[in-house]
Amino acid sequence: MKNKWKFWIDRGGTFTDVVACDPKGVLHTHKLLSENPEQYPDAAIAGIRYILSLNNFEPIPVRQIDSIRMGTAVATNALLERKGMPTVLVITEGFADALRIGSQNRPDIFALDIRSGPQN
């Protein structure tokens, strides 16, 4: 849609990067800390507010925004750093293979004839 803002946001463990294209096609960027509870509750929203020159009390003009695309490595980082919360996985009947498939562990990634090892 023309004449509307487009936002692309990358929320990392340390920083959040916000890139925006205004209705005239001009790019804007802003980098901020992903966690800064004294200043803002959510970095992505704070970045959008900054680019739109809004204070914390003004509503975001959603009708002026065409799209917001967001990517994040937060969950992956929590898993790798073992900082996530304890989690339980419940598998229902007929989905038992999800536990084996979910690991995506294939010794020979290009093998067409896949033979699974002993069940644990």
Multiple choice CATH, 1-109, 3.30.1330, 3.40.50, 3.30.420, 3.30.1490: 3.30.420
Per-residue tokens: 84: 């996530």
Q: Is the pTM of this model over 0.95?
A: no
pLDDT above 90: percentage of residues in the chain: 56
Q: Give the pLDDT confidence of 28-80 residue by residue, as tens digits.
A: 999 999 999 999 999 999 999 999 999 988 999 999 999 999 999 888 888 88
pLDDT of residue 117: 63
CA neighbours closer than 13 Å in the CB half-sphere of residue 10: 9
Q: Where are the domains of the chain?
A: 1-109
3-class secondary structure per residue, 72-110: ECHHHHHHHCCCCCCCCCCCCCCCCHHHHHHHCCCCCCC
